[in-house]
A = this chain, B = another copy of it.
Amino acid sequence: MPGHDKQVFRADCASRPILDQIADKWSMLILAVLCAQPLRFNAIKRRLEGITQKALTQALRRLERNGIVARRVIPVSPVAVEYSVTPLGRTLQQPFAALYGWTVDHLPDIEQAQRDFDRRKNG
């Protein structure tokens, strides 16, 4: 991290809570599905196997509050709500893809390291 090696380690660094809210379990996956196309609440939920309604609601609110996704209410009956990625959110695609690509590329190494570690501990 050339250039900002000092501030980020301070508890009051402004980027810390952002990093926490954006680099979490579900946000990356939500952004990925929405980047392909805008989707409605339950459409997102169906695509993200394992997410609960509560977790999805919370993650979407957080992303909306941070300007990453937009929420549009379509006044039909029953109500339809469409979520889409904002221009700001699109700029996150590159960093996220890099991180995801890393996990895929190094998955064998990591799993090997885990086996080694567990064997050392257990015998």
Contacts and interface: CB of A to CB of B under 8 A. Distances in A.
Interface residues of A, number: 55
A54 interface: no
Contacts of A18: 103, 107, 110
Please report whether the interface of chain A is mostly helix, strand, loop or mixed according to DSSP.
Answer: helix
For this chain, the copies found in one complex come to 2
A11 B106 CA distance: 19
Contacts of A102: 91-92, 95
Given A5-B36, A23-B24, A91-B106, A65 B15 contact: no
A101 B1 contact: yes
**3 closest A-B pairs by CB:** A67-B113, A11-B50, A11-B49
